[in-house]
Amino acid sequence: MTSRILATALSEFRIAFRNRWVAIATGMMVLFALVLAAAGAAPTGDVGVDRLSVTVASLTSLAVYLVPLLALLMSFDAVAGEVERGTLPLLLTYPVSRLEILIGKLAAHLAILGLAACLGYGAAALVAVWADPAAIKGLGALWRLIWSSVLLGATFLGAGYALSALSRRPSGAAGLAIALWLAAVVLYDLALLALIVSDGGGAFTTGALPVALLANPADAFRVFNLSAAEAVAAAGGIGGAAGAIPLWQSAASLFLWPLAALALAVAAFRKVTP
Amino acid sequence: MTPTLTISRLTKRFGAVEALKAVSLALEPGKRAALLGHNGAGKSTMMKIVLGLIPFDSGEVSVCGLRPGSPAARVEVAYLPENVAFHPALTGEEQLRYYLALRGESPRQAMDLLARVGLAHAARRRIGTYSKGMRQRVGLAQTLIGKPRLLVLDEPTSGLDPVSRRDFYDLLDGLAAEGTAILLSSHVLTEVEARTDSILILSGGVLVAEGTLADLRARAALPVAFSVRPAPGHAPVLAAAFPEAALGEDGVLRLSCAQKDKLPLLARIASHGAAVADIDVIPPSLEDIYSHFSRRDGQ
C-alpha cells in the first residue's frame, strides 16, 4: 500500500514540478511574505512581543487567504483532469485503490505547500531576525505557523479533490474551487463581522461566534496561531475573538478538518464512473 | 481447462437503452478472441464491465474466478483503452515506472518494456511530444507488465503502421503461448482474420455470432464468386454457355454460386478447356461474413 502511495506521490510531484506549480507556490509565498515583513518592519517595539512573533501574526493573516487559494488551485484538476485527459479508466484498472490514489496526490501537493510555506515564512523570518537578533525567540511561533499551514492546506486540498470529483470537468471544478475559496475565506468572515456589529456584544458574540470560528478551518487556523502566540492584540479584527477560544479547541479543528475533507473527497471520487 | 473469462447472460442498460442483452461467452487460457461490431454495438461497454470499471444489471461475470474489478482480479488483468492517454508532462520511462510500481514490479524494467515496443529511443522524452502511434505503444508496453492472465485490448492497433501491427501481433502470440487469454476489439478485419483463434460479433448489444472464422464462414453460407476470363475470341461462346453470368466491360464473366455448388460449377467451367484463359475463385471475405451477421437484426 505504501509503495503505491509513494509511487503516486512521486509521479504527482513530478507533474506539479513540470507544470511550474512548485515555482508558482513558493514564488507567491516568498513574495507576499517578504512584502509583509518589509511593511511590518516599522511600527514595532512597544507591542511587548518579539519582532518575529509580530511577523508571524501578519503572516497568519496572509496564510489564511493564500494557503487555501494555492491548495484549491493545485487540487481542482486532480480528478476532473484525469477524466478529461482520459487517463482515469486505465489507472482504475490497476491494483490501486481510490483512497491510495488520493492520499498519493495529497502527499505530493502537501509537500509542495510545505516547501512553499517553509521558504516563504523562512524568508520573512530571516528579515525579522536580521533586523533584530532577539527575534529568534519567535521561532516557536514560526514553526507552529508552518505546520498549521500544512494542515490548513490539507483541508482545502481535500475539498478541492472532492469538488474535482463532483464536477468531473476541470472548468466546472475551477469555478467551484473559486466559489469555495470566496465563501470560506472571504464571505464567511464578512458575514460574521456583520453579525457581530448588529449583535453589539450580545448572545451571538459570546455564544455562537466561537463555534462559528471553529467550524471554519480558515478561522480555526487564524484563531489557533494568534492565541498560541498571544499576539491577539497585534492582529485585531475577527482575530480579536480568538482569546475566548481555548487552544485545544482550535487545534482540534485544525486536525479534524483535513480528515473530514479527505473522507469527503474519497466519497465523491468513489462515485465517479470512468 | 477453466476459462480465464466467463460471461453468462450479461445485461447492461443505460437508462432505457439496452447496451448488452444476455451476452454469454467463455475465453480459455492462451486463446485470442476478436470482438467485432459497429460503433455502439457494445464492445467497449463489455470490456469496461470485464474490467470492473462500470457495474452491470444482471448476469454473471467471472475473471480468473474473481469478481471483475476486485483488487485480486485487477492484479490478473491488463487493459489498453481505446485512444489511450497519459499525462503529457511525464516521460515514457517515468510513466512506465509509475505503472510498474503500482503493480508491485521493479521500476527498473521500464526501459526493457519500452525497448520491446520499439520506444527505447524516446523513453526520456515527454509523452506530450509523442505521436499517436507512440502513445499507443506506451499503452501496449504497460499491458506487458507482470504476467497478466487476461489482456483486454480496445482497438489496440489503431494508430500503428503496418509493420508495428505485425510486431504487435507477434507480441500477442508470445503472450498467448504463455497462457494469457486475450480479448481484443478491432476494425481491421484482415489482421483479426489471421491472428486470432475465435471471432465474436456483437450487434446492437447481442452476441450474434461466435466461433472460428471457418465456423462462421460455413454458417453464413455466403455465395462464392467466380471471375472467368475467356480466351481471345471465345467470349461469345462462353457467354452463351453460362447465361447466368454477367459479362463485364473488361470482357470478364462474373458468376456466383452456393458453397456446395462450387466444385460442380468449377467442373463446368473447366470443361470448356482452351476457351477459358484464366479463372479466379473468390471466397466470401471476413467483411462479407461480418456484414452478414451484424445486419441480421436489421442493423
Residue B96's nearest CA partner among B58, B129, B140, B56 is B140
Residues of chain B with Cβ-Cβ distance to A86 below 8 Å are 81, 83-85
CA A205 to chain centre: 25
Pairwise CB contact (< 8 Å): B86 & A94: no
Optimal mutation site among A18, A85, A90, interface B, most CBs of chain B within 10 A: A90
pLDDT digits (tens, 9 = 90+) for A23-56: 999 999 999 988 888 776 555 445 556 778 888 8
Amino acid at B8: S
Name the closest residue on chain B to residue A15, using Cα atoms.
B89
Tell me which residue range forms the domain holding A264: 2-270
Residues of chain A in contact with residue B139, where contact means CB-CB under 8 angstroms, are 90
Q: Which pLDDT score is estimated for B86?
A: 95
What is the reported pTM? 0.87
> Cβ–Cβ of A95/B74 closer than 8 Å?
yes
For chain B, where are the E strands, in sequence order?
A: 5-14, 17-27, 32-36, 58-63, 77-80, 150-154, 181-185, 198-203, 206-211, 224-230, 246-247, 253-257, 276-282
Give pLDDT, residue B299.
43
Which pLDDT tens digits describe chain A residue by residue (274 residues)? 789 999 999 999 999 999 888 899 999 999 998 888 877 655 544 555 677 888 888 899 889 999 999 999 999 999 999 999 999 999 999 999 999 999 999 999 999 999 999 999 999 989 888 888 888 888 888 999 999 999 999 999 999 999 999 998 999 999 999 999 999 999 999 998 888 888 777 777 777 888 889 999 999 999 898 887 765 455 555 555 666 788 888 899 999 999 999 999 999 999 998 8
Per-position pLDDT tens, chain B of length 299: 688 999 999 999 998 888 999 999 999 999 999 999 888 888 999 999 999 999 999 999 999 999 999 999 999 999 999 889 999 999 999 999 999 999 999 999 999 999 999 999 999 999 999 999 899 999 999 999 988 999 999 988 888 888 888 888 898 999 999 999 999 998 777 778 778 899 999 988 899 888 888 888 888 888 888 888 888 888 888 888 888 888 888 888 898 888 888 889 888 888 888 888 889 988 888 888 888 887 755 44
Whether B158 contacts B184, CB under 8 Å: no
Residue ranges of domains in chain B: 5-84+146-218, 223-283
Q: Which long-range contacts (CB under 8 A, 24 or more apart) does A97-103 make?
A: A97/B71, A98/A266, A98/A269, A98/A270, A99/A266, A100/A1, A100/A4, A100/A5, A100/A8, A101/A8, A101/A269, A102/A78, A102/A161, A102/A262, A102/A265, A102/A266, A102/A269, A103/A5, A103/A8, A103/A262
Cell numbers 470485464 correspond to B50
Q: Which residues of B touch A96 (CB under 8 A)?
A: 102
The chain B residue lying nearest A271, using CA atoms, is B54
Tell me chain B's radius of gyration from C-alpha atoms: 24
The partner residue sitting opposite B90, judged by closest CB among A6, A8, A15, is: A15
- To probe the interface with A, which of B66, B87, B124 has the most A CB atoms within 10 Å? B87
What's the CATH code, domain B5-84+146-218? 3.40.50.300
Chain A nearest C-alpha distance from B52 (Å): 8
Determine the Cα–Cα distance for residues A72 and A160; give it in Å rounded to an integer. Answer: 5
Fold for domain B223-283? Alpha-Beta Plaits (3.30.70)
Residue type, B297: D
Tell me the shortest Cα–Cα distance from B213 to chain A, in angstroms.
31
Question: Cβ separation of A15 and B87 shorter than 8 Å?
Answer: yes
Grid coordinates standing for B273? 478447356
| Number of domains forming the structure of chain A | 1
Contact B71 A97 (CB under 8 A): yes
Helix-strand-coil percent breakdown of chain B, rounded to 5?
A: 40, 25, 35
For residue range A107-122, list pLDDT tens digits in order.
999 999 999 999 999 9
Report the alpha-carbon distance of residue A248 to residue A224 in Å, rounded.
8
Q: Do A85 and B85 touch (CB under 8 A)?
A: yes
> Shortest CB distance from A93 goes to which of B51, B86, B107?
B51
